[in-house]
Chains A and B, each alone.
Chain A
Amino acid sequence: MATAQTRTLARTMMLPAVVLLFIWMIVPLVMTLWFSFQNYSLINPMMTGFAGWANYIYVIGDPSFTQSLVNTLILVLGVLIITVVGGTFLALLLDQPVWGQGILRILVISPFFVMPPVAALIWKNGFMHADYGLLAHLWRFFGAKPIDWFAQYPLFSVIIIVAWQWLPFAALILLTALQSLSEEQREAAEMDGANAINRFWYIIMPHMARAVTIVILIQTIFLLGIFAEIRVTTGGGPGYASTNIAFLVFRTGILSNDIGAGSAGGVVAVIIANIVAIFLMRAVGKNLDA
């Protein structure tokens, strides 16, 4: 048992981490809230003072906000669907006895270690470029007219790139969960005459449910903040066609120097993320007791 002395010491050792994270969380957040109610533009220093809800009305009332919000949802949902379905399929495949298991894992996980701007640029120029991208060559090979991906389907193109980065993560986590399923359980089901589809639905799926939940929640946290992929490919355009909330805040606050409006957008982003976070905390928190 910990003595009183150890407990005091323990609390002291925890202090730096707690204090730092507390400052990191509270100070900027309070400032964002404060700015969001101020007239504050770096371009026009004459404009000062309390703004009331004006910044919020300006940001939320602008058509670009609605479009960014819709884009954010499409981006998150699109990537989630591709990665969870694809990841489950890939995990099931990698769980089978195959030759070269180790190298396969390395090939599959690699995209996850590619930094976002590189991922975006190699897709943009190496694969999706309308003249010399590999996909354009492929289209021409089959006699089709190559697609100018970022001009014709900007948001969809971003979804493809992000899904490529996150599919390995989903697959790896689902594979890990799959491999913790006891062999006895599977064999018992097999001996009882359950076919592959029944085994998947009644044995594997329930076992994987929690891993799937965790994949969805963690990815959502990251996907809400997708930034670099948009910055280096479409720059949010054409128009606002591929702007998400994160990019909109950057565009308003940093590129247009409107601190007040940018902050209001930031507060909205925090609220959206918090709704997601509550669910994640519950899922992870449950595990802490186990």
Chain B
Amino acid sequence: MARNVSTQAKVGFTIGAWVIALLLFSPILWTILTAFKTEGEAIANPPTFLPQHFTLENFGAVQDRSDYIKHVTNSILVSVGSTLLGLIIGIPAAWSMAFAPTKRTKDILMWMLSTKMMPAVGVLIPIYLIFRDLRLLDTVHGLTIIMTLINLPIIIWMLYTYFKEIPVDILEAARMDGAELWNEIVHVLVPMAVPGIASTLLLNVILAWNESFWTITLTSGRAGTLTAFISSFSSPQGLFLAKLSAASLLAIAPILLLGWFSQKQLVRGLTFGAVK
């Protein structure tokens, strides 16, 4: 990174980059600031930048109105549950495709990817009816199943691209030492694959957390996740901007923090390893 750039140019680039970055971040920043204002101040004209009467009462009001705790619990259950389930199904599959590939492995991988291309609306109606008949509508486990299936191709692809980078020689050396296959996986493969598995876990929790098609169409009151929680704020009854901001902040804060840690893996995961 030893490109020679004059200090002048660096100052210019720095200012330009910061202005644009802050512009992009401004809706989030504005939401954070508004969340701590009173309702009156939130819609004041002219607006205030920093909260003049710093208050936390919006957060309490949001909890009373829409039960944040219940929704965040559902979000955690669905996103973590579906990701763990996906890993349990995905790790063996990715293992066998990476280390015991056949002629058809590539076709199977591409086919798995193709299931990801199916637009959700194309299958919304049958899924809705099946869920209605099996009494899975508005249940956490029903939603977890759907989320697992949606993210399974991404999980397998991500794991596959990580496993591919583990040199087969090392696994074979272990095998010649007489290690059983099970030992080979537990003691040789897993320790080397931990970073890859962790990245896969992180990105898929984020994707499941933010998924807003199935979570809105298949839930109502009981199993609603944060996407449903926030959608209940879409019709402004009894205003509200400060409370809406508080609710928004509560819905995005956990995943924003996780996202900052996993931004590098995001590129790799979402491009199916095509851009590294």
Contacts and interface: CB of A to CB of B under 8 A. Distances in A.
Interface of A: 2, 6-7, 9-11, 13-14, 16-18, 20-21, 24-25, 27-29, 31-32, 35, 90, 93-94, 96-100, 104-119, 121-123, 125-127, 129, 131-132, 134, 137, 140-141, 164, 167-169, 172-173, 176-177, 180, 183, 210-211, 214, 218, 221, 224-225, 227-228, 231-233, 245-246, 249-250, 253-254, 259, 262-263, 265-267, 269-270, 272-274, 276-277, 280-281, 283-285, 287-288
Contacts of A227: 120-121, 212-213, 216
Contact of A232 (B129, B234, B245): B234
Contacts of A125: 236, 240-241, 244
A167 B117 contact: no
A21 B149 contact: yes
Contact of B260 (A106, A129, A250): A106
Contacts of A31: 123, 125-126, 129-130
- The A contact surface, by secondary structure, is helix
B28 A114 contact: yes
A113 B202 CA distance: 12
Nearest to B256: A113
B274 A122 contact: no
Contacts of B197: none
Contact of A115 (B127, B210, B234): B210
Given A96-B17, A176-B267, 5 more contacts: A122-B31, A129-B241, A134-B47, A262-B124, A262-B125
Max chain A Cβ within 10 angstroms of own Cβ: one of B25, B100, B130, B217: B100
B259 interface: yes
Interface in B140-182: 149, 152-153, 156, 181
B106 interface: yes
Interface of B: 1, 3, 5, 9-10, 13-14, 16-18, 20-22, 24-28, 30-31, 34, 42-47, 89-90, 92-93, 95-97, 99-100, 102, 106, 108-130, 149, 152-153, 156, 181, 206, 209-210, 212-213, 216-217, 226-227, 230-231, 233-234, 236, 240-241, 244-245, 248, 251-252, 255-256, 258-260, 263, 266-267, 270-276
B276 A176 contact: yes
Contacts of B272: 284
A10 B99 contact: yes
A273 B156 contact: no
A254 B128 contact: yes
B270 A169 contact: yes
B230 A93 contact: no
Given A97-B10, A284-B113, A115 B212 contact: yes
A250 B217 contact: yes
Contact of A122 (B96, B113, B236, B248): B248
B233 A121 contact: yes
Contacts of B274: 210, 214, 283-284, 287
* Most interface-central of B181, B274, B276 (chain A CB within 10 A): B274
